[in-house]
Amino acid sequence: MSEKRSPARGDGPHVLVVVEDAETTELLATTMELAGYRVSAVSTGAEAMVRLVEHRFDLVVLDVTLPDLQGLSRGSRFTPADRPPVLFLTTYQTLGRLVPELGAGREDYVTKPFRIAEVLARAEVLLRDRGPEREGPSYGDLVLDDDTCQAWRGQREIDLTPAEYRLLRHLLVNAERVLSKEQICRHVWGEGRADNAIEKLVSRLRHKVDREGPALIHTRRGFGYWLGH
């Protein structure tokens, strides 16, 4: 089943609701949007994994009774450091499944049938310790802050030189688009440089950005470089 709801009305923390039941999804999405959250909703664990790879979420609200949660298990591509906090919706009978499903991390739960006020209260607590907001362009778990010229991959801060930051930002705002060496050269240095200078810069950046997690920076031989999954 495809996503039930387009990106939401709120402008607060971005929440991914992973619930199969349409009525429960509507209740959670509507109430959380009214509380100021941005809400996206999917109905399966597989869809949730795709969304978590493609977008950065501040919180996941997850029904542990879903039948296909193995995609979100410890064997997934996410580490506890870059996984968003999780609020589980569970029954007393499924409490024992909580730890195996998502592993270590910031987690809490409410039991069904739940009170929406309790969901909002638990969500607020989980988000309280998530760290400062980072405003800037982003792609998946890669986030830039143009005010401080800092970059993060999940919760890991990436130490970049000015040239590396300019290159990474240029790749990010042109995500999924191949950029030639000439385009990169003009943007990063404002002047021509030898091919090996660009190759060395991209190599250093790739080592820092892709050190952990799926590779984001790719080479299209004969054409240039691009950022994407």
Residue 7: cis peptide before it, omega within 30 degrees of 0: no
Report the C-alpha gap between 85 and 76 in whole angstroms.
15
Question: What is the separation, in whole angstroms, between the first and last Cα of the chain?
Answer: 23
Report the C-alpha gap between 55 and 53 in whole angstroms.
6
Q: Which residue has the higher pLDDT, 104 or 201?
A: 201
Report the pLDDT value the prediction gives residue 39, as an integer from 0 to 100. Answer: 92
Q: For 155-161, what is the mean pLDDT?
A: 89
Write out pLDDT tens, residues 130-143: 555 555 678 888 88
Q: Fold for domain 14-128? A: Rossmann fold (3.40.50)
Write down the residue that tokens 């200078």 correspond to. Answer: 197
Within 8 A by CB and 6+ apart from 99, the residues are: none
Q: Quick one: tokens of 143?
A: 């986030």
Report the C-alpha gap between 201 and 130 in whole angstroms.
32
CA 49 to chain centre: 10
Secondary structure (3-state) at 202: helix
Strands (E), the chain: 14-18, 38-42, 59-63, 86-90, 107-111, 138-139, 142-145, 150-153, 156-158, 217-220, 224-227
Write out pLDDT tens, residues 4-23: 443 345 567 889 999 999 99
Q: In what order do the strands lie in the sheet with 138-139?
A: 138-139, 142-145, 150-153, 156-158
Q: For 59-75, what is the mean pLDDT?
A: 71
Report the C-alpha gap between 155 and 147 in whole angstroms.
18
Q: Quick one: tokens of 58?
A: 């501040």
Q: Which residue has the higher pLDDT, 74 or 224?
A: 224
**CA within 13 Å, CB half, 26:** 3
pTM: 0.52
Start and end residues for every CATH 3.40.50.2300 domain found in the chain:
14-128
Start and end residues for every CATH 1.10.10.10 domain found in the chain:
138-227
Report the C-alpha gap between 93 and 65 in whole angstroms.
10
Ramachandran bin of 90, using left for φ above 0, alpha for ψ from -120 to 50, beta for the remaining angles: beta
Report the pLDDT value the prediction gives residue 136, as an integer from 0 to 100. Answer: 66
Q: Identify the CATH class of 138-227.
A: mainly alpha
> How many degrees, rounded to 5, is the angle at CA 1 between CA 36 and CA 94?
75
131: exposed, middle or buried (Cβ count in 10 Å: 0-12, 13-18, 19+): exposed
Write out pLDDT tens, residues 106-129: 778 888 888 898 899 888 888 875
Mean pLDDT rounded to a whole number for the chain:
80
